[in-house]
Amino acid sequence: MALQAVTSGGQTVTNIVAGGNHSLFLKSDGSLWAMGDNADGELGDGTYNPTNLPEQIVASNVKAIAAGNNFSLFIKSNGSLWAMGANVEGQLGDGTYNPTNLPEQVVASNVTAIAAGGGQSLFLKSDGSLWAMGNNSDGQLGDGSNDQFQYKTNLPELIVASNVTAIAAGGYHSLFLKSDGSLWAMGKNASGQLGGGAFNSTNRPVQIVASNVMAIAAGWTYSLFIKSNSSLWAMGHNGYGELGDGTYNNTNRPEQIVASNVTAIAAGSFHSLFLKSDGSLWAMGANWNAQLGDGTYNNTNRPEQIVAGNVTAIAGGSDHSLFLQSDGSLWAMGYNEYGQLGDGTDNTADLPEQILAANNQISAFSGQLLPTGDMRLSFVGAADAHYALDRCFNLATLNWVPQLTNTTGVLVFTNTPNPATNNFWRIRSVP
């Protein structure tokens, strides 16, 4: 007798973010996936164990993601904000300083954008208001607190009442855009990362550029932005060439790096990525863990082309990088000690490697009870995609144990259920 039949189209990866040593991505079905370090519960899978393969954390309805140093944020389709991971600075905003290894709801509705930094979190609401929580030792929350090097908050607080359209969080500084295209900054400024012409930190938002800014990114101690003419600008720390200006000198004023055709930017700890309008991927800065993906371990202070075309999204972690291609495939390079690349190993990759193919979800699944009492499950996967079968005995305490891995897109297995235990099975895509 047939027990189950489900049909769904192949899923592509639609969004990516990279944290300190972990990575998150969304699929087109709204599911949230994670891999990498999990020492503080930042993957949200109910454990503190790292994983070097993508695992599903939330099955559906996730629409935005952010990854901090060792914590994660996401927004569901109902506008609710959720968080997991380290919380020693109050960055989860749940009113405690306790870490959590499962997603917890922080705000019930109306959240539209999120950013996660070293130990601070920012979010926007649908009314254009900016809210913040977490570490404020250098004024990075922008709330005007004078209790420097001690102050932090574990509940969201209102920073700007309206007209904020974009946010970015660095190591100890924060950036935001207003609806008039102006760029504002607050927090630590020892390397000039705020771009205001000084090296003084500020605990209140300061306007840096008056208009025409359309995108922002914050690295650990530097900042990037794109103007409406598609030019790329940078300021702050440059000891590894992350500004891409041909020097290794810090600057406290925005300087133009690329004159035109830049469409997207991402900042890691000390390396930078950007896309051009032709879909090419470019990188500069620190490369000691091959995070630039150029086949070397050499830093560079000039932008170099990594991929010639078809790249649609980018993300920079501490020492690793992710990107998507136009077919929805996920690629990664760089440091991988904690499995943050998701390739099933802990080996560093100095060239981009494909982690998930364009269509990497089950396209058909069915179950049948055999005359012997065995259960037979079969599925047909998307072409060129790989799958694995996992087993678990208790959904309250998840401990998925790999059983089989296939490389052909078709897998059939039989199992005799143990009447004394519950048997739970899942089929997942793998590299």
What CATH number did the domain enclosing 401 receive? 2.60.40
Residue at 134 is within a domain: yes
Q: Same domain, yes or no, for 295 and 263?
A: yes
Task: Say if 4 falls within a structural domain.
Answer: no
The 8 Å CB, 24+ separation contacts for 391-400 are: 391/415, 391/423, 391/424, 391/425, 392/424, 392/425, 392/426, 393/421, 393/422, 393/423, 393/424, 394/422, 394/424, 395/422, 395/424, 397/46, 398/45, 398/46, 398/47, 400/55, 400/426
Residue 109 lies in a domain: yes
Per-residue pLDDT, 150: 59
- φ/ψ bin of 61: left (φ > 0), alpha (ψ from -120 to 50), beta (otherwise): left
Let me know: does 431 contact 343? Beta carbons within 8 Å: yes
Strand, helix or coil for residue 315: strand
Q: Say if residue 397 is in the same domain as residue 262.
A: no
Give the CA angle between residues 264, 255, 286 to the nearest 5°. 65
Read off the pLDDT of residues 402-421 as tens digits, 9 standing for 90 and up.
766 655 555 555 555 555 55
Q: Single out the residue in 311, 334, 356 at which a domain terminates.
A: 356
Task: Let me know whether 321 and 416 are in one domain.
Answer: no
Cα–Cα dist 25/113, whole Å: 16
Q: Which of 332, 356, 380 is the last residue of a domain?
A: 356
405 and 266 in one domain? no
Q: How far is CA 428 from the centre of its chain?
A: 21
- Res 357: pLDDT: 79
Contact, 343 vs 357, CB < 8 A? no
User: Domain check: are 386 and 332 in the same one?
Assistant: no
Picking from 335, 356, 377, the residue at the C-terminal end of a domain is 356
The residue to which tokens 């630039």 are assigned: 292
pLDDT score, position 123: 98
Pairwise CA distance, residues 111 & 127, whole Å = 9
Question: What is the distance between the alpha carbons of residues 279 and 88, in angstroms, rounded to a whole number?
Answer: 39
Confidence (pTM): 0.84
Same domain, 340 and 387: no
Check: CB of residue 257 under 8 Å from CB of residue 271.
no
CATH no. for residue 127? 2.130.10.30
Does residue 123 share a domain with residue 188? yes
Q: Are 219 and 207 in contact (CB under 8 A)?
A: no
CA distance 70 to 276: 30
| Residues 344 and 398 placed together within one structural domain of the fold | no
Question: Cα 176–166–179 angle (5° rounding)?
Answer: 90
Contacts of range 274-278, beta carbons closer than 8 Å, 24 or more positions apart: 274/224, 274/232, 274/303, 274/314, 275/311, 275/312, 275/314, 277/230, 278/309
Measure the CA angle with vertex 220, ends 217 and 222; round to 5°.
60
pLDDT of residue 364: 47
327/313 Cα distance (integer angstroms):
11
Q: What is the DSSP code string of 54-105?
A: EEEEE-S-EEEEEE-SSEEEEEETTS-EEEEE--TTSTT-SSS---EEEEEE
User: Cα separation of 37 and 158, whole Å?
Assistant: 31
Assess contact for 377 and 426: CB atoms under 8 A.
no
Domain around 371: 362-430
Which residue in 309, 348, 352, 307 sits closest to 330, CA to CA? Answer: 352
Are residues 187 and 47 part of one domain?
A: yes
Residues 13 and 32: their CA atoms lie apart, in Å, by 10
323 plus 404 within the same structural domain: no
Segment-wise mean pLDDT, segments of 10 residues, the chain, 431 residues? 38 93 94 97 97 93 98 98 98 98 98 98 98 96 75 95 98 98 98 97 97 98 98 98 98 98 98 98 98 98 98 98 94 98 95 84 47 54 66 66 61 55 64 61
Q: Is residue 333 part of a domain?
A: yes
Residue 1, domain member (yes or no): no
224, 96: one domain: yes
Q: Is residue 317 included in any domain, yes or no? A: yes
Supply the pLDDT for residue 401.
Answer: 73
336 and 411 assigned to the same domain? no
Domains: count for the chain = 2
Residue 250 CA to residue 239 CA, distance in Å, equals: 7
Is residue 208 domain-resident? yes
Cα separations (Å) of 119 from 93, 197, 231, 417?
Answer: 11, 25, 30, 46
* CB proximity list for 147: less than 8 A, separation 6 or greater: none
In a domain, residue 88? The reply is yes
